[in-house]
């Protein structure tokens, strides 16, 4: 079993769980923010999720306030913002740090285990995307500016 499934996470509603629930799925793991110039990526992520969830894609959103304070809200405010503005139905989790000494272990793992040419060694901004295959292997890291539509072909290959 891939290590990725053992990481403990907390849903946006405060429930502790692990990523085990997503075993066998293709994952797009993304750090999100509600007040960022890239916030419209929520729309593209939701479109991807809607298009491929029945084939086994799950988008996992992890709000983060580490970049210019662009995610200042509470979990309830984040959830409401996402529902009202982007009709987000993919899983969202509680706010975490994605870099630095308090980085969530999942993000430390993602950054350190992305293969070769796709590893940047950091999370440079909001909306960095990681693509994970059905066996829990990290396939690729995409920069924050990579539009969700631009990763669709890679998602399709894994489904």
Instruction: Give residue 65's Cα distance to chain centre.
Output: 14
Helix locations, 87-151, DSSP H: 105-113
Place of tokens 């992520």: 45
Active-site position among 4, 19, 30, 36: 36
**Token reading at 98:** 């994605």
What CA–CA distances, in Å, run from 47 to 83, 101, 104, 116, 123? 14, 34, 27, 29, 23
CB 94 within 8 Å of CB 12:
yes
DSSP string, 144-159: TTS-GGGGHHHHHHH-
| 64 given a catalytic annotation | no
Q: Which residues pair with 11 in a beta bridge?
A: 93
Catalytic residues: 36
């Amino acid at each position: 079993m891939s290590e990725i499934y053992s990481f403990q996470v907390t849903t946006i509603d405060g429930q502790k769980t692990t990523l085990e629930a997503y075993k066998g799925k293709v994952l797009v793991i993304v750090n999100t923010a509600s007040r960022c110039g890239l916030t419209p990526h929520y729309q593209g992520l939701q479109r991807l999720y809607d298009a491929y969830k029945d084939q086994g894609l799950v988008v996992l959103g992890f709000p983060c306030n580490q970049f210019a304070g662009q995610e200042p809200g509470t979990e309830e405010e984040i959830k409401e913002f996402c529902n009202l503005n982007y009709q987000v139905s993919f899983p969202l989790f509680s706010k975490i740090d994605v870099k630095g000494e308090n980085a969530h272990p999942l993000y430390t793992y993602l950054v350190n285990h992305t293969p070769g040419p796709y590893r940047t060694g950091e999370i440079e901004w909001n909306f960095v995307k990681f693509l994970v295959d059905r066996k829990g292997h990290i396939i690729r890291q995409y920069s924050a500016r990579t539009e969700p539509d631009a990763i669709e072909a890679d998602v399709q290959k894994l489904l």
